[in-house]
Amino acid sequence: MPLLVISIIVQLALVVHIIKTGRNTTWVFIVLFFPLIGTLAYFIIELLPELTNTNAAKSAQRSIAHAVDPDKAMREATEQYALARTAQNALALAELHLAKGNFAEAKELFQRSLSGVHSDDPDLLLGLAHAHFGLAEFAETLRALDDFKRANQGKTSQDGHLLYARALEESGRIDEAMDEYRALADYSAGPEASCRLAMLLQAQGRADEARALYESVVARSKTAGKHYNNLYQKWVAQARREAQA
C-alpha cells in the first residue's frame, strides 16, 4: 500500500478519535495540514500519556524495566534503607529479598525492625513468618504467626492462614494441618487450600474424599470467570488432572 494512502488512513483515524473523545478541535487542523508533525505531536501529547497510564501498559513497562535492569528495584531499596532505616524501608527491602529467595537476609531485616512501636506490626510479623518458612524453620514460622494472631485480634489474613497450615504440615502435624486447610477452604478466595487438603487426603489413602474436593474446584472454575482461572491456573489445572485420573 502506497505511503500516501497509509498516511491518509492514519490522519482520518486520528480525526475520528479527536472528535469521538471530545478533544480540542484544533487538533483536527493540525493533523490534517501538518500530517507528519501533527500526527507525531498528537500521539506524544494526547495518546502516549493515556496509553502509559493503563494497568497493562504499567505492567509492560515494569517487565521491560526489569529485563533491562533486573537489580534496579533491589538497588534502590537498599539505598533507601541505608539512608533511612525505617520500618517501612526495611519492609520494602525485605519483601524484595523474599521474592528473590534471599530468606536469611529478609529474616534479619524483619527481626531488626520488630521493635518499639513496630514490635507487633502485622506486615513485619507475616514477612518474618515467610522468611522462616523459606529457611525450613517451621516451628519459628508457627511462632511468628501466633504472635501475629495475638497482636492483631480480629485481623484475618488468608496468606498467613495458608502459611500456618503449610507449616503444620511440614512439621508433621497432619491432622491439625488438615483442620486448618478445611477452615481456610471455607472462606478462601482461591482453590489452593482445597487442593492441598486433597493432596493430604490422597497421601492417607482417602482417594474418594480427595476426588470430591478436586471436582468441587473444577466446578467452581467453570463459573468463576477468566480472571479467576488465570490467577489460579496452577491449582485449577491440578484439580482437573486429578479429577479425571
DSSP 180-228: HHHHHHHH-SSSHHHHHHHHHHHHTT-HHHHHHHHHHHHHHHHHH-HHH
Which of 127, 148, 169 is at the close of a domain? 148
How many domains is the chain partitioned into structurally?
A: 3
Residues 161 and 244 in one domain: yes
Residues 143 and 181 in one domain: no
Residues 244 and 160 in one domain: yes
Residues 25 and 101 in one domain: no
Q: Which of 20-24, 84-88, 234-238 has the lowest mean pLDDT?
A: 20-24
Average pLDDT over residues 35-48: 74
Residue of 63, 66, 74, 64 whose CA lies nearest to 98: 74
User: What percent of the chain has pLDDT above 90?
Assistant: 62
- How far apart (Å, rounded) are the C-alpha atoms in residues 218 and 242? 10
- How far apart (Å, rounded) are the C-alpha atoms in residues 171 and 150? 21
Residues 115 and 139 in one domain: yes
pLDDT, averaged across the chain: 87
Query: Residues 190, 232: contact at Cβ < 8 Å?
Result: yes
Domain that holds residue 61: 3-65
Sign of the alpha-carbon torsion through 137, 141, 167, 92:
negative
Identify the CATH number of the domain in which residue 138 sits. Answer: 1.25.40
Look at residue 64 in the predicted model and tell me its pLDDT.
47
Residues 172 and 204 in one domain: yes
- How far apart (Å, rounded) are the C-alpha atoms in residues 57 and 80? 26
Residues 136 and 217 in one domain: no
Question: pLDDT confidence of 156, banded at 50, 70, 90?
Answer: confident
Residues 194 and 114 in one domain: no
- How far apart (Å, rounded) are the C-alpha atoms in residues 33 and 27? 10
Q: Does the structure show a pLDDT above 50 at 130?
A: yes
Identify the CATH number of the domain in which residue 197 sits. Answer: 1.25.40.10
Which of 113, 148, 183 is at the close of a domain? 148
